[in-house]
Amino acid sequence: MNDITSQLMPHLMLAPIALPMLTAAMMLLMREEQQRLKLGINILSTLLGLVIAAALLAWTDQAGAPVTMGVYLPGNWPAPFGISLALDRLSAMMLVLTSIVALASIVFAAARWHRAGVHYHPLFQFQLMGLAGAFLTADLFNLFVFFEITLVASYGLLLHGSGRARIQSGLHYIAINLAASSLFLVGVSMLYGITGTLNMADLAAAIPQVEASDRGLLHAAAAILAMAFLIKAAMWPLNFWLVPAYSAATAPVGALFAMMTKLGVYTVLRLWTLLFSSQAGESALFGSAWLIGGGMLTMVFGAIGMLGSQRLSNLAGYAAILSSGSLLAAAGFGQNLLTAGLLYYLPSSTLAIAALFLLSDLIDRWRNAGARTAPYEDDEAPFLNAELVPTAGLNLDEDEEVLIGRVIPAAAAFLGLAFMVCTLVIAGLPPMSGFVGKLAMLNAVLNPLGIGTSAGYQPGFWGWALLALMIGTGLIASIALIRVGMRHFWASHDRNTPQLRVAEGLPIAVLLLCCLLMTVQAGPVMRYMQHAADALHSPNTYIRAVLTQRPVPNPAPSTAQEAP
């Protein structure tokens, strides 16, 4: 497989962008009544995108090499004068994660939601195009372009299904993202005025050479640019828009939006480690304290929000904020081992949050379809005695049917087990991948040089604060999720059997099986993430690969042969 991928490189790097663009363009030419055909094309294109992303990921990890970089020059102009695309382990991992979540989302939408409005499928593909482009681009201008493509598509997807709540939340969402885009443009313009370039590798090379008199202006430009990214990454207090918007969206759109927040985290992680690495001279690690402090406050906000949430979709939104805060706080330390742990935690939490958005739709539909539900404040169990064991002759309900030992419908059992797995992953409880990711981050805080080589090291205030918050917010998240789970699965009865289609259950199962696979293959996955983290904190390889990529020479002109 790697041999075929190598033969297609570097042109294969363009496929994650070109494939959804061409698919969306083709579907725009089709009539709106051709929903089934559009659905089939959408699923096929997304599946093909997943195969391509997996091939690119395997190529970046070929032979276990510490660093494997791919650079593509679409205009055949060398950097920094032309457009550049760059592929490494981190961008390949984000492409695979996006494709998995997108495929689960569109299969789930196939059951009912894709028919709730117009142009769902083209907007879906444009969203994938924007996400893939943002992960692959190597210059700030095209990062802005792909961000805008993603946002414009998300505006239409958020309003899909209409309704007052979606329109109200959609208007707030559009307003805050337009403000973020304006900050993006201001920050990019200032950086260009100071350094004369927008290529990310060239910026990283230019920042250490900035004059001392311009250093304050450089930091101001970086702070304005970071503000735009942190709004998208849902850092407190810039995240007030997220829960109303994500919970108002349809379930498959909410699942796909879980990737939008991680796009902000990815951009912060990519640019901060590239532009303000330890090799950035006087600007080395600029803003690290703000990332750590803001991330920790975001963790607290997300945990409190989960504890106060009653709706499952709101719970999933606050879980996304909690996950984002954990990632931002860990990224601010600038440590290789800690970055590897957060990279492992990133896909795990994203998959579980996407599954929770999908589950919320099924559970809410099941709950509202019941004839009646038991009141939450009624804690009596008349069929149990003082020792909490069944009393003879009282193991019956109002209809004289057995309570204890009653067979649970398969659909209800699936929903309950899926919710339990989501709880384990989001709260970071063993044995699921969320626990492995959090344990790796905690171990890195206590042993930043590795186990056995960090004797005498003290984590300091920020280290102990991160350790306490990860444990504390995990406990709060588990309490919130368990409480909601008890209300939905244990405290109610006399409901009809939930109606669960294969197209709705299969995507949830696949997302959670991916979390399980990450747990079973924790060793190889963590090694991959460690290589990705090492490359992030050694930006010279990225800079050299982008700036030294030479255009393909023009073919030599053929000389006409004179006839004898």
DSSP letter string, 193-251 = HHHS--BHHHHHHHGGGS-GGGHHHHHHHHHHHHHHHHHHTT-TTS-TTHHHHHHHS-H
Q: Beta 70-72 vs 85-87: how paired, if at all? A: antiparallel
pLDDT at res. 279: 82
Burial of 433 (0-12, 13-18, 19+ CB in 10 A): buried
Would you say 295 and 314 are in contact if contact means Cβ atoms under 8 Å apart?
no
Burial 64-93 (b: 16+ CB within 10 A, else e): eeeebbbbbbbeeeebbeebbbbbbbbbbb
Confidence band (pLDDT; 50, 70, 90) for 379?
very low
Of the chain, the percentage scoring pLDDT greater than 90 comes to 49
Residues with Cβ within 8 Å of 85's Cβ and at least 6 positions away in sequence, in order, are 10, 13, 14, 17, 71, 72, 73, 74, 136, 137, 138
Would you say 159 and 119 are in contact if contact means Cβ atoms under 8 Å apart?
no
pLDDT at res. 378: 38
Q: Which residue did the predictor score with more confidence, 163 or 530?
A: 530
Peptide bond into 237 cis (omega under 30): yes
> Residue 357 pLDDT > 70, yes or no?
yes
Measured distance CA(480)–CA(174) in Å, rounded = 30
Q: Look at residues 464, 466, 465, 446 and name the one whose alpha carbon lies nearest to residue 456.
A: 446
pLDDT at res. 371: 38
> Residue 267 pLDDT > 90, yes or no?
yes
Q: Look at residues 87, 89, 124 and name the one whose alpha carbon lies nearest to residue 104.
A: 124
Q: Give the single-character DSSP code of 311.
A: S
**Ranges 138-142, 158-162, 451-455, 524-528: which has the least confidence:** 451-455
Query: Given CA atoms 298, 300, 306, 309 in this order, what sign does their dihedral have?
Result: negative
pLDDT at res. 392: 53
Would you say 85 and 136 are in contact if contact means Cβ atoms under 8 Å apart?
yes
The DSSP element (H or E) to which 70 belongs, if any, is strand 70-72
Measured distance CA(272)–CA(256) in Å, rounded = 25
Confidence band (pLDDT; 50, 70, 90) for 167?
confident
Measured distance CA(422)–CA(468) in Å, rounded = 22
Q: What is the pTM of this model?
A: 0.88
Can you give the length of the chain in residues?
564
pLDDT in tens, 417-448: 999 999 999 999 988 999 999 999 998 888 87
Q: Which residue did the predictor score with more confidence, 392 or 214?
A: 214
Q: How far is CA 495 from CA 373, 374, 397, 413, 491, in A?
A: 7, 10, 13, 14, 11
**Ranges 4-18, 80-94, 528-542: which has the least confidence:** 4-18
Confidence band (pLDDT; 50, 70, 90) for 390?
very low
Would you say 9 and 59 are in contact if contact means Cβ atoms under 8 Å apart?
yes
pLDDT at res. 491: 61
Residues 110-127, mean pLDDT to the nearest whole number: 87
245 C-beta neighbours (distance < 10 Å), count = 25
pLDDT in tens, 501-522: 888 889 999 999 999 999 999 9
> Residue 387 pLDDT > 80, yes or no?
no
Residues 154-161, mean pLDDT to the nearest whole number: 88
Confidence band (pLDDT; 50, 70, 90) for 395?
very low
Q: How far is CA 83 from CA 60, 109, 145, 186, 276, in A?
A: 21, 35, 12, 21, 22
pLDDT at res. 179: 92
Residues 79-104, mean pLDDT to the nearest whole number: 92
Q: Which residue is associated with the tokens 């490494």?
A: 88
Backbone angles phi, psi at 432, to 5 degrees: -80, 175
pLDDT at res. 380: 40
> Residue 372 pLDDT > 50, yes or no?
no
> Residue 25 pLDDT > 50, yes or no?
yes
> Residue 463 pLDDT > 80, yes or no?
yes
User: Using alpha carbons only, how large is the chain's radius of gyration in Å?
Assistant: 25
**Ranges 31-35, 359-363, 464-468, 553-557: which has the least confidence:** 553-557
Residues 177-182, mean pLDDT to the nearest whole number: 92
**Ranges 383-392, 509-518, 523-532: which has the least confidence:** 383-392
